[in-house]
Amino acid sequence: MSSSINRSQIVPIQRSIVSADALASVVAEAYGLDGVHCQLIKSAMLDTYQVTAASGPAILRIYPARRRTEAEILAELDVLAYLHAAGLMVSVPIRQRSGGQLLTVQAPEGPRCAALFTYAPGDPLSQQCTPPHARAYGQALAQVHTIADTMPQQPLRPRLDLATLLDQPLAGLATAFAQRDADWAFLRQVAGAIRAQIEALPTEPPYYGLCHGDAASANAHVTDEGHLTLFDFDMCGAGWRAYDIATFLIDEPEPVVVAFLEGYAAVRTMIDIELATIPLFQIVQSIWVLGLRADYINDWGSSSLSDRLLNHILSFITRTMERAGQ
Q: How do residues 187-236 score in pLDDT, each as one tens digit?
A: 999 999 999 999 999 999 999 999 999 999 999 999 999 999 999 999 99
Residue 1 reports pLDDT greater than 70? no
Total domain count, the chain: 2
Asked if the structure places residue 234 within a domain, the reply is yes
Q: How do residues 69-80 score in pLDDT, each as one tens digit?
A: 999 999 999 999
Judge if 250 and 165 occupy the same domain. yes
Judge if 68 and 155 occupy the same domain. no
Judge if 150 and 240 occupy the same domain. yes
Judge if 101 and 148 occupy the same domain. no
Range in 6-20, 55-69, 117-131 with the lowest mean pLDDT: 6-20
- For 317, counting Cβ atoms within 10 Å of its Cβ (0-12 exposed, 13-18 middle, 19+ buried), the class is buried
Domain span at residue 292 reads 124-323
Q: Can you give the pLDDT at residue 4?
A: 59
Asked if the structure places residue 12 within a domain, the reply is no
Residue 35 reports pLDDT greater than 70? yes
Q: Which residues contact 50 (CB under 8 A, 6 or more apart)?
A: 38, 39, 40, 41, 57, 59
Mean pLDDT of the chain: 95
Which DSSP symbol is given to 272? H
Boundary (domain end) residue, out of 96, 119, 142: 119
Residue 29 reports pLDDT greater than 60? yes
Judge if 147 and 115 occupy the same domain. no
Judge if 56 and 145 occupy the same domain. no
Q: Can you give the pLDDT at residue 60?
A: 98
> For the domain that residue 109 is a member of, what is the CATH number?
3.30.200.20
Asked if the structure places residue 262 within a domain, the reply is yes
| Three-class secondary structure assignment of 70-121 | HHHHHHHHHHHHHHHHCCCCECCECCCCCCCCCEEEEECCEEEEEEEEECCC
Residue 34 reports pLDDT greater than 60? yes
Judge if 153 and 230 occupy the same domain. yes
Q: How do residues 94-152 score in pLDDT, each as one tens digit?
A: 999 999 999 999 999 999 999 999 999 999 999 989 999 999 999 999 999 999 999 99
Judge if 155 and 106 occupy the same domain. no
Q: Can you give the pLDDT at residue 2?
A: 53
- Asked if 134 and 256 touch (Cβ cutoff 8 Å), the reply is yes
Range in 9-13, 146-150, 255-259, 307-311 with the lowest mean pLDDT: 9-13
Q: What is the average pLDDT across 308-324?
A: 94
Judge if 254 and 107 occupy the same domain. no
Asked if the structure places residue 6 within a domain, the reply is no
Q: On the CB side of 259, how many CA atoms lie within 13 Å of its CA?
A: 14
> For the domain that residue 129 is a member of, what is the CATH number?
3.90.1200.10
Asked if the structure places residue 241 within a domain, the reply is yes
Sign of the C-alpha dihedral, residues 112, 118, 124, 130?
A: negative
Q: Can you give the pLDDT at residue 174?
A: 93
Whether the model pTM is above 0.85: yes
Which DSSP symbol is given to 160? B
Boundary (domain end) residue, out of 119, 147, 167: 119
Q: Can you give the pLDDT at residue 95?
A: 97
Judge if 43 and 85 occupy the same domain. yes
Asked if the structure places residue 115 within a domain, the reply is yes
Q: Can you give the pLDDT at residue 8?
A: 65
Q: Can you give the pLDDT at residue 65?
A: 87
Asked if the structure places residue 59 within a domain, the reply is yes
Q: Can you give the pLDDT at residue 14?
A: 87
